[in-house]
Structure 1
């Protein structure tokens, strides 16, 4: 996905994090590490760990966020080798979680086309023009 699009936003709402470069405001690696550290601190402070997550073995890698505050992760459960096999987990700003047994590309397509059944991943502020805006200002429609 990043190889095809780079970093930027789908419909001015769902922001894809990419490796730092050419004006990228979000760095995929740094952002994912910071987000995981924040989750660990919250869990150590007593916030509930999602029941589906083995916090000792599984990894959550933040790869996108929304203008509404949701964070979107790849869930590397039990050390699956291929990222194509990783489900997608969404965390709301309130700390609620949803898991989607689909690839990140499939999730994005379902969200943009309005086919994603979700309680958490908002579209409140999305401009469904079916466009992708690069961080450098280029727009794909």
Structure 2
């Protein structure tokens, strides 16, 4: 992929592996046997899909207008199609990358200047300011908020 991944993401994958947090947020992982959940495969696929959308006239996030930054997906919400990205800027260290969300089935974007692990924590704890996760209690049973289901368990069903 040509980048060094953030240390907090590496720790998440090392400790948990890929899988689903709070019943909705899927953490992508490198070398996942299913390309749909593989970080590298999804990076290539999302770059292609976004390029097509922007070529068709959908607005590109302002942070990408100068052409120097890029988006790399690290997770998504299977229910809504929302993707979670890092905003990768050449002058920024991986630990300084911003989390950027795209609603998945529309043109709206949202930025959160924090790490992916901090964003996950805020979603699970119910303290996030993200418009897309403010109604999590309507979607996820409160008991499931703190649950993590690893890909190994999901794939073996």
TM-score in same-fold range (> 0.5): yes
Distance (Å, rounded) in 2 between the aligned partners of 1:23 and 1:42:
25
User: Which whole-Å deviations, capped at 9, do the CAs of 1:37-89 have from their partners, x for residues lacking one?
Assistant: 11011111111111232362111001100022110001112x14532110000
1:18 aligned partner? 29
Change (3 A) 1:61 1:89: same
Change (3 A) 1:36 1:55: farther
Q: Over aligned residues, Cα RMSD in angstroms?
A: 2.0
Paired residues, number: 137
Q: Name the structure where helix makes up a greater proportion of residues.
A: 2
Q: CA deviation at 1:119?
A: 1.4
Match of 2:43 among 32, 40, 53: 32
**Structure 2 equivalent of residue 114 of structure 1:** 126
Contact 2:35–2:41 (Cα < 8 Å) also in 1: no
> Cα–Cα, structure 1 residues 131 and 39, in superposed 2: closer, same or farther, change >3 Å?
same
Q: Distance in 2 between matches of 1:114 and 1:80?
A: 32
Q: 2:61 aligns with which of 42, 47, 50?
A: 50
Structure 2 unpaired stretches of 5+: 1-11
